A and B are shown apart, each in its own frame.
Chain A
Amino acid sequence: MVRMLPNILKNLFSKPATVKHPFIKREPFPEHRGRIIVFDMEKCDLCQDCERLCPPAAIKVDPEAKTITYDPYKCIYCHVCVENCLQRAIKAEPAYQPPAYQKQLVYHKPEK
């Protein structure tokens, strides 16, 4: 009991190791992946590199219809597309993927 006492007192007055989640939110590190992925269709030249590289095949590029179909529920957030896009048209925004009604997001290339 005497040997336990310092430990008990220390645990009583020290800060908890956990974070009180709903009140204090732990910010992810800047190096963190897993953010929302956004396509900038103004920059995109529909080269299909992202479609070829995407490991779970979450991106489908249709050069004729000039659209990109992206499935955020298939995406594993590996950021291969972000790193390899030559036009830098794919960006990772600092937010998490919100809930959605449709599984697939369709981006259209604007007409000029």
Chain B
Amino acid sequence: MKLLERLKDVGGVIGMSEGKTTRKYTIFPFGPQHPVLPEPIQLRFMVDEEKIVDASVNVGYVHRGIERACELNDYQRNVYLCERVCGICNFMHALCYCMALEKLVDVEVPERAQYLRVIWAELNRLESHLLWLGLLADAMGFESLFMQFWRDREIVMDLQERTGGNRVIISTCVVGGVRRDISGQLAEHFKESMLELKRRMDKLAPVILKDSAFKKRTVGKGFLSYDDALKLGAVGPTARGSGVAKDIRLEGYQAYKHLKFEPVVEKDGDVYARTLVRFYEVYQAIDLILEAFKIMPEGKIAVKPEKWPEGEAVARVEQPRGELFYYVKGNGTNRLERVKIRTPTLANIPSLLAMLPGYEVADIPVIVLSIDPCIACTERIINIRKDGRR
């Protein structure tokens, strides 16, 4: 109990509960280095034999100071820096930053560029979801499924290399449009690859939907109710897995206003529901890309901003993991005064802590992975002192 008392004083530890002094509990750390975790986050579990009683989290191992670095650079050079906040959803970060800045510099993005942005954003979503589905299979020890998902992910990676120029960080978004066009033979190849990916997903679908071993590890684990999801501010697939139909794409930013889709919602609220949400979103992303290609108009792909950013603006984007938020403040020079980033994992951590109690230690990897934690994106400094000041 002394450790818990001490932990409560340390800033950055969330989710302590009180009044559990009657029994002896063991506290054990999970991470920051653990085979299951792709990135360093420390979770401390209070366990009663095999059962989790309470969980707390400690982040801050990979803080990189990107927000501060954004203030030192030219605002157009920041795009490449913001992309590096998260490797997997790099285009979304660039898109969100550019959307915020386009409000400040009064730039109307050409129609074709908006469609291209949607295509790349959905390609990022495919990349992230396929990676996550593989990682989940790996976390439960289902190695062959992990390899099959990652094999099919290569289609997406090759497309990113062909269209963007790099396998991971594609750097195609700039303030005012995009840098590259997808047309002609490349567009045909793109569409064919999407159909091929759909065929491969159809082959893997029975494993996700029917396999008893897969279901045994996921069904009923890490339950998060509808009310809790709303109360704790869950975003993205975590919220949608609990029945909350929350999707920023419905706001119709960029070309999403021209595309018809409905958010994938599952009502069960367990790890399996979140898996299904992500699995169906793979199909949804493929359909969105094909539809975007069908109705994409011809025209310019970028316009040059003519003035320096002045004033404040916010932008929101639906990332693979949930809602991404950028706040940008300019002061009329080529440098920004403040950039604030809020990534979806930060919003999902309270939900994660609410999911864990009541389950066994062996379920920890699956439940922790079910929110798709992206820790390096989350690391922003907020010093909350004892008196509540920031």
A residues contacting B by CB (< 8 A) are 17, 28-29, 31-34, 52-56, 76-80, 83
Contact = CB atoms under 8 A, between A and B. Distances in A.
Given A76-B80, A78-B171, A34 B166 contact: yes
A29 B73 CA distance: 32
Contact of A31 (B73, B151, B161): B161
Chain B residues touching A, range: 20 to 34
Interface string B68-105: 00000110110111000000000000000000000000
A78 B162 contact: no
Contact of B161 (A17, A32, A56, A77): A32
Contact of B77 (A29, A32, A53): A53
B245 to A, nearest CB: 37
Given A55-B73, A78-B171, A29 B81 contact: no
B277 to A, nearest CB: 27
B252 interface: no
Nearest to A52: B74
Given A17-B151, A83-B179, A55 B165 contact: no
A54 B154 CA distance: 30
A34 B165 contact: yes
B80 A29 contact: no
Contacts of A34: 165-166
B165 A79 contact: yes
Given A17-B151, A78-B171, A83-B179, A55 B162 contact: no
Nearest to A83: B179
7 contacts: A31-B162, A31-B165, A32-B165, A33-B171, A53-B76, A53-B77, A55-B79
Contacts of A29: 158, 161-162
A111 B303 CA distance: 39
Interface of B: 73-74, 76-77, 79-81, 151, 154, 158, 161-163, 165-166, 169, 171, 179-180, 186
Interface of A is mostly: loop
Contacts of B180: 31
B85 to A, nearest CB: 14
A28 B161 contact: yes
Contacts of A31: 161-163, 165, 180, 186
A28 B157 CA distance: 12
A2 to B, nearest CB: 17
A31 B283 CA distance: 27
A17 B149 CA distance: 12
Contacts of A79: 165
B80 A78 contact: yes
Contacts of B151: 17
Nearest to B158: A29
B179 A32 contact: no
A56 B77 CA distance: 8
A54 B73 CA distance: 10
A52 B334 CA distance: 12
A55 B166 contact: no
B81 A55 contact: yes
A79 B154 CA distance: 24
Contacts of B165: 31-34, 79
A98 B151 CA distance: 30
B166 A33 contact: yes
Interface centre among B154, B158, B161 (most CB of A within 10 A): B161
A33 B164 CA distance: 8
Given A34-B165, A56-B80, 15 more contacts: A17-B151, A17-B154, A29-B162, A31-B180, A32-B161, A32-B165, A32-B166, A33-B165, A33-B171, A34-B166, A54-B77, A55-B73, A55-B81, A78-B171, A83-B179
A55 B161 contact: no
B199 to A, nearest CB: 15
Nearest to A34: B166
Contacts of A17: 151, 154
Contacts of B154: 17
